Amino acid sequence: NAGVMQNPRHLVRRRGQEARLRCSPMKGHSHVYWYRQLPEEGLKFMVYLQKENIIDESGMPKERFSAEFPKEGPSILRIQQVVRGDSAAYFCASSPPYYPGETQYFGPGTRLLVL
Amino acid sequence: KNEVEQSPQNLTAQEGEFITINCSYSVGISALHWLQQHPGGGIVSLFMLSSGKKKHGRLIATINIQEKHSSLHITASHPRDSAVYICAAETSGSRLTFGEGTQLTVNP
């Protein structure tokens, strides 16, 4: 059973471009979480999704950021018109459908660098 | 004041020493998580606790719900234990609130 997969592992964008980060949860997991780790800072919750539903997006910046988890395919975190302050490591985690009561399994992260 | 506080921020130990990392939280939780972040950045979930104590190999995690405090212990520490250890409080809706992490360095 493959773990949580994220791609790309590293992404370089110029200011104003769009960044698309993908997360494929573990097989059988229907809950996905996105977290951001700014340089020299701790992890921060961004959004919690289940298949085709956003459950909690209270940690997402109100503008330029969006997330989806379609019925088929990976979860996508999209950042429009990136700025230098978006440079960070973005981690996703997944858990089984009978969560809570289960551990979240983390992907390796996508390191976004905005030039 | 952060909702999740860890201490110490940095910890250096000699191989073989017993290590304790502390976590205090001020929010109501459904569970308390301990995570390990390797120097390369990858994150591994170590424990999820809602009460009592859990043990996995040389790692032990405890939680006191009344005192809103959890500890992570490492027995017989080894240089490969060097990493950042993060506690995270799970609140309603499965949201995790993270501590700032404890940088552990174990010297041979």
Three-state secondary structure along B36-69? EECCCCCEEEEEEECCEEEEECCEEEEEECCCCE
The whole-number pLDDT of residue A103 equals: 80
Query: Would you state the pLDDT for residue B28?
Result: 86
Q: Which of A43, A49, A113 would you mutate first to test chain B, the one with the most B CBs within 10 A?
A: A43
The reply to whether residue A45 touches residue B48, judged by beta carbons under 8 angstroms, is: no
Interface with chain A: mutation pick from B95, B100, B102, B103, highest number of A CBs within 10 Å: B95
Pick from B55, B53, B61, B68: nearest CA to B20: B61
Per-residue model confidence as pLDDT tens for chain B (108 residues): 689 999 999 999 999 999 999 999 998 888 999 999 988 778 999 999 989 999 999 999 999 999 999 999 999 999 999 999 999 998 876 788 999 999 999 999
What single DSSP character describes residue A25? P
Contact B88 A43 (CB under 8 A): yes
Disruptive mutation site among B2, B37, B43, B56 for chain A (greatest number of A CBs within 10 Å)? B43
Residue B37: predicted pLDDT: 94
Tokens of B34: 């301990």
Q: Which residues of chain A have pLDDT under 70?
A: 1, 98-102
User: Could you give the CA distance from residue A9 to residue B33 in angstroms, rounded to a whole number?
Assistant: 25
> Does residue A105 belong to the interface with chain B, where contact is any CB pair within 8 Å?
yes
Neighbours of B9 (CB within 10 A): 10
* Interface contact B42-A109, CB threshold 8 A: yes
Distance from CA of B13 to the nearest CA of A (A): 22
Contact flag B99-A42 (C-beta cutoff 8 Å): yes
* pLDDT value of residue A63: 94
CA distance B46 to chain A (A): 9
Residue B51 CA from chain centroid, whole number: 15
What residues of A are in contact with residue B28 (Cβ under 8 Å)? none
Contacts of A9 in chain B (CB under 8 A): none
